Amino acid sequence: MLGRSRRVRIATFLVVGTCIYLFYGGFLSASLLELKPSPRKRIQYPFKEKGFGGKDEDKATAVKQVMQRTFGLYKQKAWGFDEVKPVSGGQRNSRNGWGATIIDGMTTAAIMGLSDIFADQYDWVVNRVNFHKTMGLVDPFETTIRYLGALVSTVDLLEAGVISPPSPSFRKDILRQARTLADNLGPAFDTPTGMLWPRVNFSSARGVDDSGRRNSYTRTHLARAGSHFLEYATLSELTGDKIYLKNSTRAWNWLVDNKKGEEWPGILESPRLIWTGEPFGTTRTLGAPDDSHYEYLIKAHLLFPTRASTRRHAKRWVQAMTSAQTHLLSTSNTRPRHSFLLSYSKGMYENKMGHLTCFIGGNLLLGAAYLSRPDLHSFGEALIDGCHHSYVSMPSRVGPEEWSWTPRERKQTRINGFTSPVTAAQERLWSQTGIWPTAANYNLRPEVVESYFYGWRITGQQKYRDWAWDAFTAIANATSTHWGYSEVTDVTATPRDGSERDANLRDISESFWSAETLKYLYLTFSDPDLCSLDSWVFNTEAHPLKRRFR
Ligand SMILES: *[C@@H]1O[C@H](CO)[C@@H](O)[C@H](O)[C@H]1NC(C)=O
Ligand SMILES: *[C@@H]1O[C@H](CO)[C@@H](O)[C@H](O)[C@H]1NC(C)=O
Ligand SMILES: *[C@@H]1O[C@H](CO)[C@@H](O)[C@H](O)[C@H]1NC(C)=O
């Protein structure tokens, strides 16, 4: 039985608590667009309760085998370089020569349970790579999402027991490297706005523009300006050193609390001047090169769902997504109608959409599930359908880098170029499918299968698994080479024979092929509890980070 004084204390607590809740609850819901934070809100579809959706063993294994083949051939031909050249078997350094394929692929190997590969990667990270030395300038954005993201995610995955640690000192050893890297990137933040310098010169320890100089009109796009939060906040959690979190939020204070407001709430003009934060350009897009700014707004809130400070990021995300639905959503005038996203620049719409923009369907589903927004959910599903259409419309069944359509809205009167197909081949595709590629290459990118992954995990609809399998087989078919998997020049071509096929291959294989594309495919066929969206948030390079509920 409760003692009297304890009961009084509980009653007082309840009364005071209710008052605080009513006061702040009312205040917050008014100011946060009906955002009702409920930290443990379930995101994933309840597969277990519904009794289906377990691991699809055969398909998961097929994806894993492609990962093994990718890594095996890379190791044989290009160990220590950033990438293997998948057609010629040569080597390429595109990410400062720190072995991008090794490090960026670590979390995929861990998730797939590939301990041999993981042991090689771990040894490279802990004993070999030197993050003090590099040729050329360092790109803080790419370095953060690929290298630093992989390192902090690996610590989280090892601590969660996803794979057994190769050494008991893994935490200390990996974090030592992660801090070295982050500390060397530090000069990127030396601007009045906290918007990063586009590059860092490690020898002079100074932030510079992409040609190595410093000047007062250096500009940056939104993704570069401020999507370091997930990686830096996690590094601060793991090390206890707040400097990383602090640095990564400075630009956001600016971008998230834009005092001047926007014509379309939440959608900022880009690029910006890093010294003043003022817009230099007038582009408004959720696609590249502004994409992960929007992606991280909701993910910041999901990473720390109980922190009041991240609610304004969620609020900005809702604003931006609502504005995008109002101003940038477009449907084709052909039947059946498909939905796509426009971008807007210099007062004109551009009716083309890029593969990179296809992340947004999954991002919408993620935020809509958490914030209970059926309107944004439908918007997300419609965009995933549009991206799926871009794949199945191509003869190779792999989607192009960029495509166009004829929109049915009146907005089309203000369209800048791309109103109709130009070549005979484009014309033919357009008449059959309602779209035509304006850039026909495929770069092994993940965004479309990434959105299928969210579609499957959040809605439980089998069609997303089917679409993912279809994409996987088509991609493997179109891109497979002697030494791995290669970017292709033209997804409208289906060359069968050797020399014709070679001519369609670019001899490039970036690290996101194993970091992202293969990981999202694998997780679509794995047990849905593996890296559940209820416990993990993926950075923009698909490295999962533990959600922290305190
Ligand atoms: C943090 O930002 C400051 C500039 O405000 C910079 O000098 C410092 O190197 C940065 N440190 C890290 C670890 O990012
Ligand atoms: C980096 O800085 C060093 C020392 O100031 C300079 O010699 C070098 O040319 C710079 N590197 C680049 C790529 O600009
Ligand atoms: C790709 O698919 C075609 C037909 O669907 C088939 O003939 C060809 O062998 C496949 N190529 C590869 C490399 O799998």
Which has more pLDDT, 421 or 51?
Answer: 51
Q: What is the mean pLDDT of the segment spanning 409-421?
A: 64
Q: Which amino acid is at 292?
A: S
- What residue owns the CA closest to ligand 3's atom 10? 477
Segment 73-95, tens digit of pLDDT: 999 999 999 999 999 999 999 99
DSSP 400-418: -SEEEE-B-SGGGGGB-S-
- What residue owns the CA closest to ligand 1's atom 12? 186
- Measured CA distances, 278 to 198, 231, 300, 301, 468 (Å): 16, 26, 24, 26, 41
Please tell me whether 540 is known to bind a ligand: yes
Q: Among the atoms of ligand 2, which is closest to the Cα of residue 208? A: 14
The ligand placed nearest to the CA atom of residue 96 is 2
Segment 204-241, tens digit of pLDDT: 999 999 999 998 889 999 999 878 999 999 999 999 99
Cis previous bond, 289, omega within 30? yes
**Is 447 annotated in the active site?**
yes
**Is 142 annotated in the active site?**
yes
Which has more pLDDT, 224 or 27?
Answer: 224
| 3-state secondary structure string across 189-240 | HCCCCCCCCCEEECCCCEEECCCCCCCCCCEECHHHHHCCHHHHHHHHHHHC
422 in helix, strand or coil?
A: coil
The ligand placed nearest to the CA atom of residue 211 is 2
Q: Among the atoms of ligand 3, which is closest to the Cα of residue 480? A: 13
Does the Cβ of 239 fall within 6 Å of ligand 2? Answer: no
Return the DSSP state at 420: S
**Is 291 annotated in the active site?**
yes
Tell me how far the alpha carbon of residue 195 lies from the centroid of ligand 2, in angstroms.
22
Catalytic annotation, pick one of 82, 83, 381, 447: 447
| pLDDT in the model for residue 183 | 98
- What residue owns the CA closest to ligand 2's atom 14? 212
Tell me how far the alpha carbon of residue 393 lies from the centroid of ligand 3, in angstroms.
18
Tell me how far the alpha carbon of residue 492 lies from the centroid of ligand 2, in angstroms.
43
pLDDT band at 415 (very low <50, low <70, confident <90, very high): low
pLDDT band at 35 (very low <50, low <70, confident <90, very high): low
Residues within a 6 A CB radius of ligand 1? 182-183, 186-187, 189-190, 243-244, 247
- Measured CA distances, 310 to 180, 283, 300, 412, 464 (Å): 27, 26, 6, 37, 30
The pTM for the full model equals 0.92
Mean of the per-residue pLDDT values for the chain? Answer: 91
Catalytic annotation, pick one of 56, 123, 142, 470: 142
Catalytic annotation, pick one of 82, 156, 269, 291: 291
d(CA 319, CA 317): 5
Return the DSSP state at 260: T
86 in Cβ contact with 509 (< 8 Å): yes
Pick the range with the lowest mean pLDDT from 187-196, 232-241, 251-260.
251-260
pLDDT band at 346 (very low <50, low <70, confident <90, very high): confident
Q: Does 28 score more than 70 pLDDT?
A: no
For the ranges 183-192, 248-257, 343-352, 411-420, the one whose mean pLDDT is highest: 183-192
Q: Among the atoms of ligand 1, which is closest to the Cα of residue 246? A: 1
The ligand placed nearest to the CA atom of residue 210 is 2
Tell me how far the alpha carbon of residue 494 lies from the centroid of ligand 3, in angstroms.
9
| pLDDT in the model for residue 410 | 64
Q: What is the number of other CB atoms lying within 10 angstroms of the CB of residue 420?
A: 11
Cis previous bond, 198, omega within 30? no
- Measured CA distances, 347 to 93, 270, 283, 414, 416 (Å): 39, 13, 9, 8, 9
| pLDDT in the model for residue 419 | 67
Q: What is the number of other CB atoms lying within 10 angstroms of the CB of residue 131?
A: 24
Tell me how far the alpha carbon of residue 150 lies from the centroid of ligand 2, in angstroms.
28
